[in-house]
């Protein structure tokens, strides 16, 4: 085994303490904006755009600050014949989950449901309102000497929102890396008959059967009011980044997760490089400041980022492979400067803040069943070997982040142990604009989903990824049964949630001219690509069943018969 160990950095940090320094920074705005007071509103996500670029409208928004106000807000909806969508403080999900169906619908925001309700130190339980930010939950628990063992890497999400989409960190140990595995109770407000005042609070304890539906609910069962989570005694984590060649990744991809409690890995296929995150639990008395200011998630100086975006647009849309690969090398080297700080006195913000018009990306995350992860890695290598330079754009954004999850008791949680592969890549502000080597990324995603039976993260991904995905959940039927009982009139459902859940055979794919260029569909006709620009619908290069928009036939250059027909 080639041992090219290079220890990049060593820090000791507090439990999942991804505490982003916010001093002097600009928090994102409320995603709900109304033309008149709390009426005539629009909602978007933290990126300022849903994958289909929809403008989402609502008649009104309410901001309950107690459970009683929340019950009243839910009750008002059926009384006024309105449907409801729940919005959060920052709206971080990419898909249209938070988007109301029509302009007559209403939004209930959890912005003011942001208090800790109870902290039982002896029983190691915390109960919070659903709008509490992950960051504040972690702080409240830590103040009592307790820790939430696993969480997403970004702490600006709410507990209600992150649970709804099954968000997670990384672990194969015990219950695994998903937050919903640590939920031991919740209170949810659902619609009710007029005789019960149109709304009711349901309390689901640890052994209530419906908890399996409510823990990961896509927001379609009602509004979660409070959540109770099981905590652990506070600990620290010892983190070391180990960089190696990717030659033995097939062997390591599962082994790494078994070896380290919080392990993950980042793979840059174009560069042939893997950065393993060796991350283990250590005693809370271990030295270290307990801070993990994650490089890609910290707030940053605005200055220069708009220019950087223009350079990127040029590179992605009209650049050469050589230029893109040079850029990937530079970013990769830049990542080693782990503690570079934003300049003093400059305005800082989240780098994806739409007010800047700088970072604009897609984010796909697909969990491949653990026992298929080795074969998936081998297939991606085959795709890479055909043209390593096609991966430079992906590598420049960190490559593939692999994280671990255990099989879940949640009906819409991952049904089996899995490795979640997360990729972030360039998105154009112009709908339908070609991206460099988009065919390779599309093939990779289709491979993960269709060849390896992957599960798309409910809060990430483009439309096509959800097509048929719900059929891979053995408990989807149980979920729909609970939905039918809790919300028989579908007040919390939208066209989008019905499409994602496959209700009455609905599909989230939008089949129209150019749809595959945007990930709204998998192409089945050249018109779904951009024939005028030379992009035609063609089979994948390694996964032949894939259908991708490509400038060249799959077997161009191999001397084989050219076969662009489908
Ligand atoms: C920068 C960034 C980093 C991320 N990192 C990770 C990561 O490391 N791991 C990971 O798994 N995910 C990650 N995500 C995805 C993120 O965790 C999910 O998108 C999460 O759902 C966002 O939570 P939110 O509070 O913004 O909810 P929203 O996106 O606003 O809402 C999500 C859904 O939940 C519903 N909802 C919200 N609150 C309630 C409630 N109280 N009752 C009922 N329904 C409700 C909404 O209606 C909507 O349908 C990341 C996202 C971003 C932008
Ligand atoms: C919205 O409400 C208005 C006023 O009640 C009504 O006239 C209109 O038809 C409704 N629109 C939809 C799409 O339901
Ligand atoms: C809750 O949110 C409100 C509105 O943003 C804010 O003023 C308040 O400080 C927050 N409370 C807590 C406990 O975080
Ligand atoms: C790429 O080139 C096309 C055609 O010359 C041009 O219209 C487009 O604006 C260019 N894109 C960028 C981002 O420079």
Instruction: Please check the confidence at residue 356 and state whether its pLDDT lies above 80.
Output: no
Structure-block tokens of residue 183 = 């939920």
The whole-number pLDDT of residue 439 equals 97
Residue numbers of the domain that contains 194 = 116-233
317 lines ligand 4 (CB under 6 A): yes
Tens-digit pLDDT profile for residues 15-41: 333 333 334 567 888 999 999 999 999
Ligand 2 pocket at CB < 6 A: 102, 104
- Which stretch of DSSP H or E encloses residue 75? helix 67-79
pLDDT in tens, 420-455: 999 999 999 999 999 999 999 999 999 999 999 999
Ligand 3 pocket mutation, candidates 114, 134, 158, criterion most atoms within 8 A of CB: 114
Q: Is 533 in the pocket of ligand 4 (CB under 6 A)?
A: no
Residue 184 falls within a domain, yes or no? yes
pLDDT by residue (tens digit) across 259-272?
999 999 999 999 99
Residues 160, 492: Cα–Cα separation, whole Å: 15
Cα(314) to ligand 4 centroid in Å equals: 7
Domain-located, residue 530: no
Q: Per the domain annotation, does 130 fall within a domain?
A: yes
d(CA 535, CA 523): 11
526 is a domain residue: no
Distance 313 CA to ligand 4 centre (A): 9
The pLDDT tens digits of the residues spanning 450-482 come to 999 999 999 999 999 999 999 999 999 999 999
**Å from CA of 56 to ligand 2 middle:** 16
106 DSSP β-pair partners: 60, 84
Please indicate, yes or no, if residue 227 is contained in any of the structural domains: yes
| Number of domains observed in the structure of the chain | 1
Q: Is the model's pLDDT at 220 over the cut of 80?
A: yes
CA of 126 from ligand 3 middle (Å) equals 18
Q: What confidence score (pLDDT) does residue 8 get?
A: 30
- Report the DSSP beta bridge partners of residue 349: 26, 300
Look at residues 99, 204, 150, 194 and name the one whose alpha carbon lies nearest to residue 494: 99
User: What is the CA(363)–ligand 1 centre distance, in A?
Assistant: 13
**337 falls within a domain:** no
The CA-based angle 140-284-242, given to 5 degrees, is: 105
Helices marked H in 434-506 — which ranges? 438-446, 476-486, 495-500
Q: Which residue, by CA, sits nearest to atom 6 of ligand 2?
A: 104
**Residue 248 pLDDT > 80:** yes
For residue 112, the ligand closest to its alpha carbon is 3
Q: 95 near 165, Cβ under 8 Å?
A: no
The token duo for 474 is 């053995």
List, for residues 318-332, the tens digit of each pLDDT value: 889 999 999 888 876
| Count of CB atoms situated within 10 Å of the CB of 471 | 9
- In the reported structure, the alpha carbon of residue 319 is separated from the centroid of ligand 1 by a whole-number distance in angstroms of 34
Q: Is residue 136 part of a domain?
A: yes
Quote the tokens at residue 531: 């024939």
**Smallest CA separation from ligand 2 atom 12, residue:** 104
CA of 159 to the centre of ligand 1 (A): 8
pLDDT digits (tens, 9 = 90+) for 515-537: 999 999 999 999 999 999 999 99
Cα(392) to centroid(ligand 3), Å: 42
Determine the pLDDT at residue 16. 36
What predicted TM-score, i.e. pTM, was given to this entire model? 0.93
Give the pLDDT confidence score for residue 291 in this predicted structure.
76
Rounded Cα–Cα distance for residues 499 and 97 (Å): 11
Give the DSSP letter of residue 451. I
Better-predicted residue by pLDDT, 296 or 535: 535
Q: Does the pLDDT value for residue 552 go beyond 80?
A: no
Report whether residue 114 contacts ligand 3, using a CB cutoff of 6 Å: yes
The reply to whether ligand 1 has any atom less than 6 angstroms from the CB of 90 is yes
Q: Nearest-CA neighbor of 61 among 92, 7, 13, 98?
A: 98
Residue 278: strand, helix, or coil: strand
Return the residue whose CA atom lies nearest to atom 2 of ligand 2.
104
Euclidean distance between CA atoms 349 and 341, whole angstroms:
13
User: Residue 181 maps to which CATH number?
Assistant: 3.30.465.10
Closest CA to 362 of 4, 98, 50: 50
- Ligand 4 mean position, distance from CA 532 (Å): 15
Distance CA 528, CA 554 (A): 17
Structure tokens at 237: 């984590």
Which atom of ligand 3 is the closest one to the Cα of 89? 5
Q: Is the pLDDT score of 381 beyond 90?
A: yes
* Residue ID of nearest Cα to ligand 2 atom 10: 104
Which atom of ligand 2 is closest in space to residue 104's alpha carbon? Answer: 1
| Per-residue confidence (pLDDT) for residue 293, from 0 to 100 | 67
Residue count of the chain: 566
Residue 207 falls inside a structural domain: yes
Whether residue 340 is predicted with pLDDT greater than 60 in this model: the reply is no
Q: Give the SS3 label for residue 490.
A: coil
* Runs of H (alpha helix) within 387-420: 392-396
Give the DSSP letter of residue 140: H
């Amino acid at each position: 085994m080639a041992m090219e160990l290079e220890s990049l950095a060593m820090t000791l940090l507090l439990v999942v303490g991804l505490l982003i320094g916010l001093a002097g920074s600009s928090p994102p705005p409320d995603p709900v904006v109304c033309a008149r007071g709390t009426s005539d509103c629009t909602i978007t996500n933290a990126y300022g755009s849903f994958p289909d670029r929809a403008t989402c409208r609502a008649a009104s928004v309410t901001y309950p600050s107690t459970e009683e106000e929340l019950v009243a807000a839910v009750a008002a909806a059926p009384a006024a014949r309105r449907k409801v969508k729940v919005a959060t403080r920052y709206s971080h999900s990419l898909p249209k989950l938070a988007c109301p169906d029509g302009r007559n619908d209403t939004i209930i925001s959890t912005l003011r449901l942001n208090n800790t309700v109870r902290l039982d130190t002896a029983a190691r339980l915390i109960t919070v309102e659903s709008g509490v930010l992950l960051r504040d939950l972690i702080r409240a628990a830590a103040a009592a000497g307790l820790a939430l063992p696993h969480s997403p890497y970004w702490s600006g999400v709410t507990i209600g929102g992150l649970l709804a989409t099954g968000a997670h960190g990384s672990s194969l140990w015990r219950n695994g890396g998903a937050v919903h595995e640590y939920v031991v109770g919740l209170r949810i407000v659902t619609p009710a008959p007029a005789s019960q005042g149109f709304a009711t609070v349901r309390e689901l304890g640890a052994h209530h059967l419906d908890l399996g539906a409510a823990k990961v609910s896509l927001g379609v069962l009602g509004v979660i009011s409070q959540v109770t989570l099981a905590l652990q005694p506070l600990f620290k984590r010892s983190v070391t980044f180990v960089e190696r060649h990717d030659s033995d990744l097939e062997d390591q991809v599962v082994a790494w997760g078994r070896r380290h409690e919080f392990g993950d890995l980042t793979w840059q296929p174009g560069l042939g490089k893997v950065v393993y995150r060796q991350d283990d639990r250590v005693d809370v008395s271990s030295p270290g400041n307990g801070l993990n200011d994650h490089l890609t998630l910290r707030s940053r100086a605005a200055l220069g980022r708009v220019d950087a975006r223009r350079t990127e647009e040029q590179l992605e849309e009209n650049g050469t492979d050589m230029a893109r690969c040079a850029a990937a090398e530079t970013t990769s080297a830049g990542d080693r400067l782990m503690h570079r700080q934003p300049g003093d006195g400059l305005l800082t913000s989240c780098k994806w803040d739409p007010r800047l018009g700088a970072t604009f990306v897609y984010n796909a995350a697909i969990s491949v069943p653990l026992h298929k992860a080795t074969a998936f890695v081998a297939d991606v290598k085959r795709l890479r070997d055909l043209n390593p330079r096609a991966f430079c754009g992906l590598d420049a954004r960190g490559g593939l982040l692999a994280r671990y999850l255990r099989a879940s008791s949640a009906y819409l949680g991952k049904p089996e142990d899995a490795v979640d592969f997360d990729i972030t890549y360039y998105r154009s502000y112009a709908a339908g604009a070609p991206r460099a080597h988009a065919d390779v990324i599309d093939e990779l995603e289709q491979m993960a989903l269709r060849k390896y039976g992957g599960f798309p993260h409910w809060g990430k991904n483009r439309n096509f990824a959800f097509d048929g995905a719900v059929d891979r959940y053995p408990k989807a039927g149980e979920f729909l049964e609970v939905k039918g009982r809790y919300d028989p009139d579908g007040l919390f459902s939208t066209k989008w949630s019905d499409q994602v859940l496959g209700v009455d055979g609905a599909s989230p794919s939008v089949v129209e001219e150019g749809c595959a260029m945007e990930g709204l569909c998998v192409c089945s006709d050249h018109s779904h690509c951009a024939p005028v620009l030379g992009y035609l619908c063609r089979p994948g290069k390694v996964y032949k069943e894939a259908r991708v928009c490509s400038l060249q036939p799959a077997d161009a250059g191999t001397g084989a018969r050219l076969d662009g027909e489908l």
